[in-house]
Amino acid sequence: MEEQPQMQDADEPADSGGEGLAGGPPQVAGAQAARSEDRMTLLIRLRAQTKQQLLEYKSMVDASEEKTPEQIMQEKQIEAKIEDLENEIEEVKVAFEIKKLALDSVLMDNMKHLLELNKLIMKSQQESWDLEEKLLDIRKKRLQLKQASESKLLEIQTEKNKQKIDLDSMENSERIKIIRQNLQMEIKITTVIQHVFQNLILGSKVNWAEDPALKEIVLQLEKNVDMM
């Protein structure tokens, strides 16, 4: 039997903190982000490890505080005791699992409830947003209509003004004056001609009362003059 054992240290940092990222992205920024993520994962993993190891040490300390039986027991008795202890451990484990399941189910219920409420909230928010959109559209349309009506009224007004101006200008235009003068002239001429006809008929000492045509001419001429 050899007293001098051979010792070989085979170290290999199989650090898979960069697993999958060994052939990393060429951009520096991308690689740096990945590295910081690795560090985070590494730190979280180390934390979990340290917790677990602390738990182990604590449990060993607790176990060593328990008093071990002093007397030397038979092997069978030791085995029986070991079995009892193992059964105890199993029972505790099972109870723990049951409790965990119960808690998990309650937790699951709460989380489901939360999810449903969140969905509801999102739906209501979406609806209210849609309604606001519609309101906004309608307001825009109203504004547009108002503006349109305003412009139309303006147009009407300008048209009316234009017409009035035209009318006034027409009345004051020169042409009308000339035409009026001509008209007056014609009227005067007609009056003169009428008077001439009247005087002709009267001067001829014809009995114009007997002849209806002559009577008509004399009387009518008077009327014409008056009508002007």
Partner 1 sequence: MSVLRPLDKLPGLNTATILLVGTEDALLQQLADSMLKEDCASELKVHLAKSLPLPSSVNRPRIDLIVFVVNLHSKYSLQNTEESLRHVDASFFLGKVCFLATGAGRESHCSIHRHTVVKLAHTYQSPLLYCDLEVEGFRATMAQRLVRVLQICAGHVPGVSALNLLSLLKSSEGPSLEDL
Which residues contact partner 1 by CB under 8 A? 1-2, 4-17, 19, 42, 45-46, 48-49, 51-53, 55-57, 59-60, 82, 86, 89-90, 93
Distances (CA, A) of 19 to 35, 79, 129, 176: 11, 46, 46, 105
CB of residue 17 to partner 1, shortest distance in Å: 7
The nearer residue to partner 1, 7 or 209, going by C-beta atoms, is 7
The nearer residue to partner 1, 83 or 109, going by C-beta atoms, is 83
The nearer residue to partner 1, 47 or 164, going by C-beta atoms, is 47
CB of residue 30 to partner 1, shortest distance in Å: 23
Question: Is the Cβ–Cβ distance between 18 and 38 less than 8 Å?
Answer: yes
Residue with tokens 């994962």: 41
Give the C-alpha separation, 210 to 81, whole Å. 170
Residues comprising the chain, all counted: 228
CB of residue 53 to partner 1, shortest distance in Å: 4
The nearer residue to partner 1, 97 or 109, going by C-beta atoms, is 97
Question: Is the Cβ–Cβ distance between 57 and 67 less than 8 Å?
Answer: no
CB-based contacts of 39, cutoff 8 Å, min separation 6 = 17
The nearer residue to partner 1, 48 or 228, going by C-beta atoms, is 48
Residue 91: closest CA among 102, 80, 83: 83
CB of residue 130 to partner 1, shortest distance in Å: 47
CB of residue 97 to partner 1, shortest distance in Å: 12
Structure-token pair, residue 226: 């008056």
CB-based contacts of 42, cutoff 8 Å, min separation 6 = 17
DSSP 7: -
